[in-house]
């Protein structure tokens, strides 16, 4: 006997800030809505100790913000289910969505799957994540006032975020595995002119060291094989973000790196399929921008369904 396929007006993939906001807007507009999440509801908020730059909350713990966003989003009757989306088959009026355990149909889809930070994959990185190891200068830089920081990477993000960190830190050392940066020329010029930034070339962070509570240093290995310990208060890792695109990478809606391309209404090139939050091709990946995207996508999903 074939399993019954549940149908919804809107299916939201991912229960981070973008997905929760899209669910709030669409369920409040009296649409039937399902959020599918493959992990724990809250998305990257769960990896954030303190949030100081989300309007309305001078300071809030990421998990607390996740809980209150989730309660707000579910108030108007949206459903929530576990599901790791593996495939989307576009159609009209219903798209079909396959997870590892079930199949659903929905008239509109909001992809809000976010991104994953590329990890250094060295000892100490996981142990001190959130206790000196960070992937977000805008989020965590203020915690390192007058500190000494190591930034790992050589691209735009490493150099731009390294410069941003100098407004808090007394010294920022950019550790790069090559002998020159990959960042845009103008960013390089600014970094070289910044007295608080210095560079360690042809070097890799081999291990992140700590006292059990927080980061105290890194072990650096040079291209010639020599290694030494550099004391520091924090390590910011910018070796790239990876889009969580596995469930829809055959739809042709991403750029060459896997970020979803939308118009300003969050619509992809497939009618009825929208994207919101960090998964989009965009410059600023933050809670506020994810929430803004989610509201826009939700409203456009509503408009799309009315037009069918």
**Where along the sequence are the contacts to ligand FAD (CB under 6 A)?**
13-19, 36-39, 43-45, 47-48, 51, 53-54, 83-85, 112-114, 135-136, 139, 244, 246-247, 277-278, 285-288, 290
Closer by beta carbon to ligand FAD, 148 or else 285: 285
Tokens (6 digits) for 55: 């309007």
CB of 228 to ligand FAD, least distance (A): 28
* Helix, strand or coil, per DSSP, at residue 19: helix
**Dihedral pair phi/psi, residue 24, rounded to 5°:** -60, -50
Closest CA to 152 of 164, 170, 134, 167: 134
Angle formed at CA 78 by CA 2 and CA 6, multiple of 5 degrees: 10
Active site residues: 136, 139-140
Residue 195: other Cβ atoms inside 10 A: 7
CB of 252 to ligand FAD, least distance (A): 17
CB of 114 to ligand FAD, least distance (A): 2
Tokens (6 digits) for 184: 């845009």
Closer by beta carbon to ligand FAD, 86 or else 196: 86
* Helix, strand or coil, per DSSP, at residue 205: strand
Distance of CA 126 to the CA centre of its chain: 17
Closer by beta carbon to ligand FAD, 119 or else 246: 246
Q: How far is CA 243 from CA 114, 118, 271, 282, in A?
A: 6, 10, 22, 12
CB of 248 to ligand FAD, least distance (A): 8
Closer by beta carbon to ligand FAD, 189 or else 257: 257
Distance of CA 134 to the CA centre of its chain: 13
Distance of alpha carbon 106 from alpha carbon 79, whole angstroms: 13
Q: Is 17 left (phi over 0), alpha (psi -120 to 50) or beta?
A: alpha
Closer by beta carbon to ligand FAD, 86 or else 190: 86
**8 A C-beta contact, residue 9 and residue 26:** yes
CB of 66 to ligand FAD, least distance (A): 9
Distance of alpha carbon 48 from alpha carbon 63, whole angstroms: 7
Burial of 177: CB neighbours in 10 Å, binned 0-12, 13-18, 19+: middle
Closer by beta carbon to ligand FAD, 15 or else 29: 15
CB of 91 to ligand FAD, least distance (A): 19
Tokens (6 digits) for 271: 């009618």
């Amino acid at each position: 006997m074939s399993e019954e396929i549940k149908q919804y007006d809107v299916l939201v993939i991912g229960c981070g800030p973008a997905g929760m906001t899209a669910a709030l807007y669409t369920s409040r507009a009296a649409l039937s809505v399902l959020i599918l999440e493959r992990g724990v509801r809250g998305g990257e908020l769960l990896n954030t100790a303190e949030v100081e730059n989300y309007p309305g909350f001078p300071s809030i713990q990421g998990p607390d913000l996740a809980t209150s966003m989730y309660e707000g989003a579910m108030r108007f009757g949206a459903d929530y289910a576990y599901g790791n989306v593996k495939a989307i088959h576009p159609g009209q009026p219903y798209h079909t969505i396959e997870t590892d355990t079930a199949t659903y149909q929905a008239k509109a889809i909001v992809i809000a799957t976010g991104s994953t930070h590329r990890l250094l994959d060295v000892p100490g990185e996981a142990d001190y994540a959130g206790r000196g190891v960070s992937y977000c200068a805008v989020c965590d830089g203020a915690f390192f006032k007058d500190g000494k920081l190591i930034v790992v990477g050589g691209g735009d993000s490493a150099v731009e975020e390294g410069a941003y960190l100098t407004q808090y830190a007394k010294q920022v050392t950019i550790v790069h595995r090559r002998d020159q940066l990959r960042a845009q020329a103008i960013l390089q010029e600014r970094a070289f002119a910044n007295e608080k930034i210095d560079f360690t070339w042809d070097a890799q962070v081999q291990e992140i060291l700590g006292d059990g509570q927080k980061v105290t240093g890194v072990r650096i290995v040079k291209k010639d094989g020599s290694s030494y310990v550099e004391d520091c208060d924090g390590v910011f890792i910018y070796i790239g973000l990876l889009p969580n695109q596995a469930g829809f990478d055959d739809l042709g809606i991403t750029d060459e790196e896997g970020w979803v391309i939308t118009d300003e209404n969050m619509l992809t090139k497939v009618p009825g399929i929208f994207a919101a939050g960090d998964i989009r091709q965009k410059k600023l990946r933050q809670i506020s921008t994810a929430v803004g995207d989610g509201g826009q996508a939700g409203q456009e999903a509503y408009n799309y369904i009315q037009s069918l």
